[in-house]
Amino acid sequence: MARFFARRFGTMLLALLFISTFTFFGMKVIPGGPFDSEKQLPPAIQKNIEEKYGLNDPLFKQYTDYLSGVVKGDLGPSFKYPNRTVNDIIKESFPVSAALGGVSILLAVAVGLTLGVLAALKQNQWQDYLAVIIATLGFSVPSFVLAALLQYVFAYKLGWVLPAMWGTWQQAILPSISLAALPTATITRLMRSNMLEVLQEDYIRTARAKGLKNRVIIYRHAIRNALMPVVTYLGPMVASIFTGSFVVESIFAIPGLGRYFVNSVFNRDYTLIMGLTIFYSIFLMTMNLLVDLSYAVIDPRVKITGKKE
């Protein structure tokens, strides 16, 4: 167990180093800088600003300076949002995105699992077709279309909720539905196909031969065995949804983290790009670690050891 964690953290650190190096030099290759603008600043001022942020140092020194900050937990100041550090930005916006993402994931898991199990049990009946239609729509309708449509119907036409803004729980309804559409579709499809597979297994026949009720067989024997691929999918999905969506947050004017991912690149806000990349990487790798640990909980054949295969 201890060896398992030691190995995993070692790999994570290595991956993190690789990701940050690649991102750092990659973004420097892109032409332009944080203080370029259409209105040309006087060269002296431009030079002073660049001097202040260390942008005139040799590239490698900038890199090591940045990394030594990261090690201390300091992601540096934002270039574009004066007086705010990258840490501040993440601290302010991540909880918003995470709250919205949490609701969306819960929604996606609840609806997706229900639809998937129902579809498998009623294969080729109307419940199955309904689930498949919902899943296909969830896949094919882009979130900006769905978001705009929801705003139009429920906020503009029916007037049940405000079209945008953030603060009360009612305002989370439309954006979380928009965010949940894709994971719901994926979970429905995964769960449906896994359930169909598991229901063909010999141990399901054994369970029937014991005289168990169909409902008991589904809940006790089938669902747990069908859950594995959904858990695998859920790890990266949670990471991606918790860190916000540019599209949904923009449409509903939600002060989340998602928009910074896109804006920081447009603005060449170097420290923010780096900070978000590192934050997202750590989050994603932690989720994957959790996924691996939950395998051991779901399937007793999976053992947590430090040994290689």
Residues at the contact surface with other proteins, assessed by CB under 8 A = 201-203, 205-213, 216, 220-221, 224-225, 298-301
Is 27 or 204 the residue whose CB approaches other proteins more closely? Answer: 204
**125/136 with CB nearer other proteins:** 125
Is the CB of residue 211 less than 8 Å from the CB of residue 227? no
Closest contact distance (angstroms) between CB of 209 and other proteins is 4
277 and 19 in contact (C-beta within 8 Å)?
A: yes
Q: How far is CA 213 from CA 64, 205, 210, 216, 226, in A?
A: 64, 12, 9, 5, 19
* Tokens matching residue 4: 């398992």
3-state secondary structure 124-167: CCHHHHHHHHHHHHHHHCCHHHHHHHHHHHHHHHCCCCCCCCCC
Cβ closest to other proteins, residue 29 vs residue 209: 209
Identify which of residues 57 and 201 has a Cβ nearer to other proteins in the complex.
201
Q: How far is the CB of 1 from other proteins (least distance, A)?
A: 19
d(CA 83, CA 216): 60
Least Å distance between CB 304 and other proteins? 15
Determine contact, residues 158/201, Cβ cutoff 8 Å: no
- Work out how close the CB of 119 gets to other proteins at its nearest, in angstroms, rounded to a whole number: 17
Residue number with CB closer to other proteins (38 or 202): 202
Least distance from C-beta 272 to other proteins, angstroms?
45
